[in-house]
A and B are shown apart, each in its own frame.
Chain A
């Protein structure tokens, strides 16, 4: 197979498939074990300085903010981040000095809300380095290749562009059609943080609504930390096995954290907390503001329940439930500015 082009982006998260199989054989138990723990313990144990980390969800949707805040609290350093439409998670981690390298499909922005002041400052000032570019489909297919135990997967994305030239993909001539095809290398994050609707004590997980790329990402992860809205009885899982998106043997830790995705959206349970996201966007315009935010909402916080009180407690959570169910109008600082 002729190699027509080699992307110059740094290859991150790749392992030889046999090396990965050996790692799985040695480190991933197939035993049905109780994996309940605390976020503090899971992050302390699995998120090591320098690790490659990725988050489930997408943008401000279903992100394990409980785990993100804990990484900040434990002051993890030199992490590399999978910027697979990474928005609030990567912004906070870069601003807090935890992440200094990122592979980017989409980052440094908050969609309609505008660009991220903090992570843009970090990347334009050189404190955080973009190691490679990729597209959204491209990233998810890197995880698919990993999930399948393959070294790469052929696709037709990024061809002919600078995105490919700055990615870790390679272009070869397809032996069947004779046309150029982009080979995307597998990506196995060292740790994946994911928030789900329900899981049992062993880690069997259900997700309501769109799975986005969590099916692939959970299978690509070397270590998978799952926070869940609720831990349910094993029978709940076994009654509807077709609903299981992630079977237990992929999971290393499972922790019940109600509202653990706040201020991101949890389908059918709570909408984006635009007031809180707006506060972050406003404060993160300056370094002092970043510290003010972290000192208020992250560093001194002992439990996620304590954090939930700070963001408005029961009343605010009830409001977010109502917005999600189309029972209350959306309030958003950035929307007020637009009007």
Chain B
């Protein structure tokens, strides 16, 4: 395979492609930030970027290190508060949210709290942070994470952030905002969505050179694999150039 882009560039491009113009997105640091800025500089100039610590609509000059960094409200329309932006999410103003996780299950539920028992953790992870809020409130949640059998699991060690819980209608039954939930999962192998009927994870596309079998082999549960599986579009030279402008030091993208 002749590949002149690196894997992170591909993921950022795929993520950027999911963000429609005129919508709003909760972003964190790292790859989601690159994706949102890339979308703004290509097909979605009117994408509204929101940070959970209160930055709304910044013109981000350089990549922020933290979601509360001064860069998150640089030339912003509002340097507000967590109450302001989380309330906006709860009220329905936030379209997309980006999340990462240590574990995901077939319904898109996420674990960022603990590996092992909660009482006697084998590995203690940071916890929900804003993840549960974003996964509860955003109309469409996009998950970006590394895929392997230890991360794509049948049973989470801890359900930190709600996906579709245990299936169709479960979010609404639990009291979560109606018609919200996980939308896409992007990994180093491909892109996944959720089956309308069962709300189980479905392979939508693989990255160039990756097969559906490889995607299944790196998943600890049965994926739904339709007859037609797409292939993601590699980043164009123009997209790569813009990403290098956004992250000139390679903080997120790497070399």
A interface residues, Cβ below 8 angstroms from B: 57-61, 83, 85, 104-109, 111-113, 115, 120, 123-124, 126, 130, 133-138, 140-141, 144, 155-163, 166, 171, 174, 179-182, 209-216, 265, 267-268, 271-272, 274, 324, 326, 329-330, 332, 335, 338-339
Report the Cα distance A339→B250, complex, angstroms.
7
Q: Of the candidates B81, B159, B173, which one forms a contact with A210 in the assembled complex, judged by CB atoms under 8 Å apart? A: B81
Residue of A nearest to B178 (CB): A179
Find residues 34-58 in chain B having any chain A CB closer than 8 Å to their own CB.
52-55
Report the Cα distance A112→B65, complex, angstroms.
7
Q: Tell whether B175 is near chain A: CB-to-CB under 8 Å.
A: yes
Residue of A nearest to B80 (CB): A210
Does A115 contact B126, Cβ atoms closer than 8 Å? yes
Q: Mark B70-94, 1 if CB is under 8 A from A, else 0.
A: 1011000001111100100110000
Report the Cα distance A163→B130, complex, angstroms.
12
Does A105 contact B82, Cβ atoms closer than 8 Å? no
Does A182 contact B128, Cβ atoms closer than 8 Å? no
Does A156 contact B80, Cβ atoms closer than 8 Å? no
Q: Tell whether B113 is near chain A: CB-to-CB under 8 Å.
A: yes
Q: Of the candidates B68, B125, B175, B249, which one forms a contact with A212 in the assembled complex, judged by CB atoms under 8 Å apart? A: B68
Does A159 contact B54, Cβ atoms closer than 8 Å? no
Q: Of the candidates A111, A179, A180, A271, which one forms a contact with B70 in the assembled complex, judged by CB atoms under 8 Å apart? A: A271
Does A111 contact B133, Cβ atoms closer than 8 Å? no
Residues of A within 8 A of B171 (CB): 160
Shortest C-beta distance, A9 to chain B (Å), equals 10
Complex A-B: 20 CB contacts under 8 Å:
A59-B53, A60-B66, A104-B126, A105-B129, A107-B127, A112-B251, A137-B86, A138-B133, A141-B86, A144-B83, A156-B90, A158-B128, A159-B174, A162-B160, A163-B127, A163-B159, A209-B79, A265-B68, A335-B251, A338-B254
Report the Cα distance A52→B128, complex, angstroms.
21
Q: Tell whether B229 is near chain A: CB-to-CB under 8 Å.
A: no
Q: Of the candidates A109, A137, A180, which one forms a contact with B82 in the assembled complex, judged by CB atoms under 8 Å apart? A: A137
Does A156 contact B177, Cβ atoms closer than 8 Å? yes
Give the top 4 A-B pairs by smallest Cβ distance, nearest first: A180-B175, A160-B174, A210-B54, A106-B129
Does A104 contact B127, Cβ atoms closer than 8 Å? yes
Residues of B within 8 A of A141 (CB): 83, 86
Shortest C-beta distance, A126 to chain B (Å), equals 8
B interface residues, Cβ below 8 angstroms from A: 29-30, 52-55, 61-62, 65-70, 72-73, 79-83, 86, 89-90, 109, 113, 118, 120-133, 136-137, 158-162, 165, 170-171, 173-177, 249-251, 254-255
Does B255 contact A339, Cβ atoms closer than 8 Å? yes
Does A161 contact B68, Cβ atoms closer than 8 Å? no
Given contacts A134-B128, A135-B128, 13 further A-B contacts (CB under 8 A): A58-B67, A61-B68, A107-B127, A135-B130, A159-B175, A161-B162, A163-B161, A166-B118, A174-B175, A209-B73, A210-B54, A211-B54, A326-B62
Residues of A within 8 A of B52 (CB): 136-137
Does A160 contact B162, Cβ atoms closer than 8 Å? yes
Residues of B within 8 A of A326 (CB): 61-62
Residues of B within 8 A of A171 (CB): 175
Does B54 contact A108, Cβ atoms closer than 8 Å? no
Does B175 contact A162, Cβ atoms closer than 8 Å? no
- Known: A124-B123, A135-B132, A156-B90. Contact between A212 and B65, CB under 8 A? no
Residues of A within 8 A of B73 (CB): 209-210, 267
Does A106 contact B159, Cβ atoms closer than 8 Å? no
Report the Cα distance A59→B82, complex, angstroms.
13
Does B121 contact A124, Cβ atoms closer than 8 Å? yes
Report the Cα distance A153→B137, complex, angstroms.
17
